Structure 1
């Protein structure tokens, strides 16, 4: 059937197989730290970003600003920020925990073929302020929604994503010379995974296991 009632879109049929495949996708969406240096095919990144741009946003503001970090100089400054902040973080733990922390693989900055810095425009003209007068942070939440959409789209095509949060946002903003009104939300490494695991790396390293959902659901 090519169409429904006049002026209406046809509702898609999300089959039971699709639903199971989607559940599998969620289970296999991992935070990747180990990347092959193999580049993505031409046009693949643009396609994934087009899918990510379908994400919802408060007031239809689309506040995300995506910087593709290609230059060796900019990447070098990002890596330097990570190394400095990572060492500072290690010092906050006791000796035994600090040793375990330093053994974790927390970034794929030197291996991943694609680096994306995702910013949020904290005062976009688009959207005319709708829905964010009392909760302006919904702009950042919308940006995270876009990131998760990108993540799932990438995973569905065999591409891995790693979110690097051990960075100085001011250093990243300065290194990339972006608008001062933009706020760093995420720095993503993107590429083909070197290895595939259904369980999180932090769980395999015995840093932190997942906990039951019931411990986080509250009824009032």
Structure 2
């Protein structure tokens, strides 16, 4: 079994801490060999029942991306209205929460709910495990992109059903992540929302329990 030395362990933790949600992109295209490595890393994610339920849709069409951007604008307006009277409303209105048109590549990550049907190993009691597995593929992709100097931004402020229609997804294919991918203007030292004052990182010790909910770990 492969073992890792202290420098390699520290490198992994450096990569984890350096990951950022990117919203500002340079127009330079992502090299195809680099994209292939990033997708391969995603494909090596763990999956329950070794189902590998993911697919990756590379979206380069500006027409398709314009439609997605319109969905974002609609949804973002609704989200802002929810903050009416909230002191964070002005801050929210100034946040840049997507890079759909600026990034050289958009990438949709989907989950095939019917893959390996009719028996889904490991999903009998928790049928959503294929969705969680697909999220692990997204995390692998994100970290591999960071190592390559490529930024990733997850756009969640879009209607998933309307997005699925634009992308032509069959009924058994579920959208998990809509990503903006490309070289970032910069990788900031802190997460964008923390830097903007939206929220600070929580204290890990407050989030770790032992044996049962709410019982602090020793």
TM category (shorter chain) comes to over 0.9
Partner of 1:8: none
Partner of 2:145: 154
- Paired residue total: 210
Match for residue 40 of structure 2 among 26, 31, 50: 50
Deviating more after overlay: 125-134 vs 194-203? 125-134
Matched-pair contact (CA < 8 Å) for 2:42–2:140: yes
Matched residues in 1 for 2:108 and 2:11: separation? 29
- 2:81 is aligned, of 91, 96, 121, to 91
CA distance in 2: counterparts of 1:29 and 1:15, whole angstroms: 22
Q: By how many angstroms is 1:13 displaced?
A: 2.9
Counterpart contact for 2:22–2:184, Cα < 8 Å: yes
TM-score (norm 2): 0.93
TM-score of the pair, normalised by structure 1: 0.92
1:162-201 paired onto structure 2 within 5 Å: 162-201=153-192
| Match in the other structure for 1:4 | none
From 179, 197, 206, the equivalent of 1:215 is 206
> CA–CA distance in 1 between the matches of 2:118 and 2:20?
32
CA contact (8 A) 1:60 1:126 kept: no
State how far apart, in whole Å, the 2-side matches of 1:210 and 1:127 are: 42
Instruction: Give the 3 Å change call, closer, same or farther, for CA 79–73 of structure 1 in structure 2.
Output: same
- Once the two structures are superposed, residues 99-120 of structure 1 have per-residue CA deviations (whole angstroms, 9 ceiling, x without a partner) of 1111001111121111011111
Aligned 8 A contact 2:66 2:101 in 1: no
Q: Note the alpha carbon deviations across 1:171-215, whole angstroms, 9 max, x for none.
A: 110001121111111101111110121210001100011111112
Task: Please list every run of 5 or more consecutive structure 2 residues that lacks an aligned counterpart in the other structure.
Answer: 212-218
- Aligned equivalent of 1:3: none
Q: Which residue of 2 aligns with 1:206?
A: 197
Is 1:22 paired with 2:12?
A: yes
Task: State whether residues 27 and 198 of structure 1, in contact with CA within 8 Å, keep that contact through their aligned partners in structure 2.
Answer: no
Please name the residue that 1:61 is paired with.
51
- How far apart are the structure 2 equivalents of 1:167 and 1:219? 37
Q: Are the equivalent residues in 1 in contact too, given 2:26–2:185 (CA < 8 A)?
A: yes
1:36 aligns to 2:29 (yes or no): no
- Please name the residue that 2:67 is paired with: 77
Once the two structures are TM-superposed, the CA of residue 45 in structure 1 deviates from its matched residue by 1.1
